[in-house]
Each structure stands twice: as C-alpha cells, then as structure tokens.
A and B are shown apart, each in its own frame.
Chain A
C-alpha cells in the first residue's frame, strides 16, 4: 500500500504474472475429457490431439479476447471520460453482432468461399465501427462529447440492433437460427487454429497501439478542451481510438460472440486498486482480462460438464451483479442498499 491507500501497480503486475501460468495450465487440462500426462507425450494420441487441436487454440483465444475486451473497455472509458462506459453499453458490440449476424444469415455461399473466414470478423468490425462513429457523432457538442447523450444513444442503438437481429432470426432457417442464437450467447467452444491465429493477428497490433496511448488518455480525462490546451490534437486521438476499439471489439465479437462485462468490470477493479493512471491501468487491465476470461472459460466447461455453458452467460452472471454492486458503492459508499 502506498500513502494514497492504493496498491502499487508493480505489485499487482507481479501478482497477475504469478497467476497466469496456473490459470493457463488449468485451461489446458480441465474439460470434459481429463488428460493424462503420459498420454500427452505421444504424438497422435487422443489426449495429444485434444490438447493441441482443441485446448491450445482455445486458450490462445480466451487470453487475447480477454485482453482485448478489458483494454478496449479501458480505452472507451477514457474516450468518453466515464468510468462506467463499456463497448456493450454504448452499442458497439451490438453493432458488431448485427453485422456479423447479417453475414451469417445472408452470407450464404460467400462464407464458404476463399474469403469466408474473414467475412465474419470484417463485417463485425464494420458494424462496430459504424456504431462507434454514430454514437460519437450524436453525442458530440461544441464542448466535447456529452456522456448522457452517448449513453441514451447507446440504449437506442442497442435496441435497434436487437430488433434487427430479431427480424433476421425470424426469417432464417432452423440451422442458421441455432447457429446465430448460440453464437450470440458468447462462445469459445468451436475454436480451431485458424480462428485463434486470426484473433491473435488482429489483437496484437490493436493491443500494442492502444497501450501506447496511456498518457494521451490521461490528458483526455482532464476534459477535451483541457487536453487541446495541453497540446493534444484531440480529434485525431479520438479517431485513432475509435478505429482501434472498433477493430478490437469487432474481432472478439466475430470469433467469440457477445461476451459482456469484461470491458466494464476489469478496468474498474484495477482503478479501485491502483488508481486511474492509464499508463499503469491499461497493461494491468489487459493482463487481468486475459486471466479472468480464461478462468471464465474453464468455469463454462466444468459447470454443466460434459455440456458447456456459453461463456457470455458466465461473464454476465458474474459481471452483472458485480456492476450493480459497483453502482451501489459509488452511490452510497457501501455494497448494499
């Protein structure tokens, strides 16, 4: 603890680094089939295949999806100068989901073509980008971005997207319907190497570029005008952030469906522990997001084993109540009414 009642970021970083290997190991070893160490060493054996063809890519996906969700959450919170903003709340995820569902329903033969694997992430990115730009545009005032307007616009866009998805579900056939429904719940269970590598390839540049903006985001927290007066070219910074967030969220949504609350809860937890300095908060959020989503994935595998609970349900079941407690704590300084 420092003088300010905060946990030192270095300490938390070491703690998370310590947690990472056992959590990764857990994710590799736990599942409907228990793996035996001696079997693992034989190439081509059942256990070997499960580990390398199923669990390893899935681990990669949960790590990067968790890091992306938490880091885009932290970035959105700084961009809108609101600790309770989240890509889900303001409709970015819904926009990405809408575009991805449209691709699933209408994509038909394109999905099977050479560009098939890219179609879903690409349309999710475009959908996320469109909604982010729209929300930022609606909430824009001469003094900067109005947070109230942004949240209200988010509510409207969320329900519009939900309605549009509903219409598409209504007109789709049994198989597509099941695909869409399951995918929307948030899911990592159909991960293979191609989707894991695709997400990694998209995640790495987004993570690196967002992590470089820590101090810029700190300045933005002072206010848009204040940041400009300190020499930040705010409209360029905002455009950069919107693009990166849309790309990151689009990538996660397209491969994992809707996984809520990670982007909201993780940065908030870190802020409570270590303070709001984005230079420390952003890397810590990415690490904690990776750890927590991997853990949530493990939980989703064991809870109703041998079946699987969609991971979006796990994060919502844990994150939803946590979010309510956070609101209560902000309002009353305690965790209950």
Chain B
C-alpha cells in the first residue's frame, strides 16, 4: 500500500467538509473519485497530498504518517496536480515542464530528455517553445499535467490528480488518460478526480463515491457504478446500459419540480 487514509476528517469554521473516510491506494491501481460539487473531493486530495493537515484520522505514506515526511522526500514519492494553477509569468511550455522535474535533480541533458519525452507523450512537442500565457485553457492544463508527470521518477509511488482533463477536448482527454492508465499499469497508485462517468468507467479500476463529505460507496468500477447509486450520488436520474460490454451513462431529470 502506498497511501492509506484512516478515519480521515476535516472541518473548516465548524463545518464538516470530510468525515470518517477510509481509503487505500494500492500500487498498479487507478482509483477514480466521483461526487457532486462541494462533496469534499478536492479537500480529500489536499489531505492526501499533505497540503492540509487532517482534523481527524491520519494519512499514511508507506505506513509512515505523512506529516513526518520532509517536503523533498515527499515530492519524490508523490506527485500531485491541484485544480488551481496560478502561474502568471511568461515561461515557455518546455520551461514549465522542466520545473516539474526539479525534485528528481537530474543532470541537465537527462532532465531535458526526460521532459521531452513527456512533451511528446502529451502531444506538446509543437508547443514546446510557445509562451505558456498565450495558450488556451485546455492547452495550459495539458502543460501542467506534463509538468506533474515529469515529476515522476524511479521513487514515485503515487500520483494524485484533481480534474486533470476537465478543460481538454475529447481527443486530448483520451490521450492524457491513456498515459495515466499506462502509469498505473507500470505500478503507480493513481488517484483521479473526474466528473465524466464514461471516462471514469473506461479508465478506472476502483471508484470512490463521495457525497456530503462521506463515502457513499467504494469498490471496483463494475460493482459500484450502478444506476441507483449514481442517481443517489448526483440527485438526478442516471441510467446505465451496456453495449458490447461497455457501460453507457445517460442522465435525466424525472421531475421538473425538483429544480424549483
């Protein structure tokens, strides 16, 4: 087990944002977190990455309390992409990605090769010398993802990503998620916050349904992502049908009065 959360809770100004959450991120597993806005998904990621200290329970990295790890050690073991990326300086795409490789402390030529690999894999090689600030929102997101992936080296055990493809077009969503799937297959524990049910079902191994700061359900994708459960999660109707063994999700509103 790379990362484990036990009885995790967090409150802010007396409001319980998260409570009683147990979660295990195992090597080689891609776990998707689903839930409505404000369910505590991003808070969960902040706690798992050590940006916030839990007000209850604990996060263990390799069996050791996360807060007892030093920042540099932690950065070599866990790579994290938060939703908010406040970079406001005119770095080139390649410069941004190379900042991501900093924790690895590679010699310059190796660092360049390592980063070029990620630029290529995420279809960014044509943008490498462009000014980051002049890119579109989806392109920026791809650059930030490449930066976080460039942080992964031999010691990296876990990868935590908060809606990493939310602004991307369909092709790049698949392109990026395939890379994450590949990383999971090579032995990384990957945690992914997503809103797209089809992408979640297609790329995930396990899924955690989070609502009102609590776990609604948790387990393998096929068992957990059922119509009734997803309907209860999002408070709208969700139908699941199967075509050639692939799940299809359709959301609908049963009663217009619901929105009034």
Q: Which among B75, B86, B90 is the interface contact of A229 at CB below 8 angstroms? A: B75
Determine whether A4 belongs to the interface, using a CB cutoff of 8 Å to chain B.
yes
Q: Are B75 and A223 in contact (CB under 8 A)?
A: no
Q: Are A276 and B84 in contact (CB under 8 A)?
A: no
The stretch of B27-35, B98-106, B112-120 in contact with A is B98-106
Determine whether A219 belongs to the interface, using a CB cutoff of 8 Å to chain B.
yes
**A223 / chain B contacts, CB cutoff of 8 Å:** 82, 84-87
- Main DSSP-derived SS at the A contact region: loop
Q: Are B95 and A231 in contact (CB under 8 A)?
A: no
**B82 / chain A contacts, CB cutoff of 8 Å:** 223, 225-226, 229
Min CB gap A147→B, angstroms? 9
Determine whether B62 belongs to the interface, using a CB cutoff of 8 Å to chain A.
no
**B99 / chain A contacts, CB cutoff of 8 Å:** 218-219, 222, 230
**B14 / chain A contacts, CB cutoff of 8 Å:** none
From known contacts A219-B102, A225-B51, infer whether A4 and B92 are also in contact, taking CB-CB under 8 Å.
yes
Determine whether A83 belongs to the interface, using a CB cutoff of 8 Å to chain B.
yes
Determine whether A247 belongs to the interface, using a CB cutoff of 8 Å to chain B.
no
Determine whether B140 belongs to the interface, using a CB cutoff of 8 Å to chain A.
no
Interface residues on B, range: 20 to 34
Interface residues of B in 72-100 (CB under 8 A from A): 72-76, 79-80, 82, 84-92, 95-96, 99-100
Determine whether A117 belongs to the interface, using a CB cutoff of 8 Å to chain B.
no
CA distance A221 to B147 in the complex (A): 14
Min CB gap A36→B, angstroms? 50
CA distance A232 to B76 in the complex (A): 12
How many interface residues does A have (CB within 8 Å)?
26
Number of A-B contacts (CB under 8 A): 76
Q: Which among B50, B90, B129 is the interface contact of A271 at CB below 8 angstroms? A: B90
Min CB gap A297→B, angstroms? 31
CA distance A221 to B84 in the complex (A): 13
Determine whether A143 belongs to the interface, using a CB cutoff of 8 Å to chain B.
yes
Determine whether B151 belongs to the interface, using a CB cutoff of 8 Å to chain A.
yes
Minimum CB distance partner of A229 in chain B: B80
Interface residues of A in 1-47 (CB under 8 A from B): 2-4
Q: Which among B49, B50, B76, B129 is the interface contact of A4 at CB below 8 angstroms? A: B129
Q: Which among A2, A4, A226, A271 is the interface contact of B85 at CB below 8 angstroms? A: A226
Determine whether A305 belongs to the interface, using a CB cutoff of 8 Å to chain B.
no
Q: Are B80 and A231 in contact (CB under 8 A)?
A: no
CA distance A215 to B103 in the complex (A): 12
Interface residues of A in 121-140 (CB under 8 A from B): none
A175-203 contact mask (Cβ, 8 Å, vs B): 1 or 0: 00000000000000000000000000000
Minimum CB distance partner of A78 in chain B: B89
Listed in ascending order, the chain A residues whose CB lies under 8 Å from chain B are 2-4, 81-83, 143-144, 215, 218-219, 221-223, 225-226, 228-233, 271, 275-277
Instruction: Give 12 pairs: A residue, B residue, CB < 8 Å, sorted on A.
Output: A3-B129, A81-B88, A83-B89, A222-B87, A226-B82, A229-B49, A230-B102, A233-B71, A271-B90, A275-B90, A276-B91, A277-B95
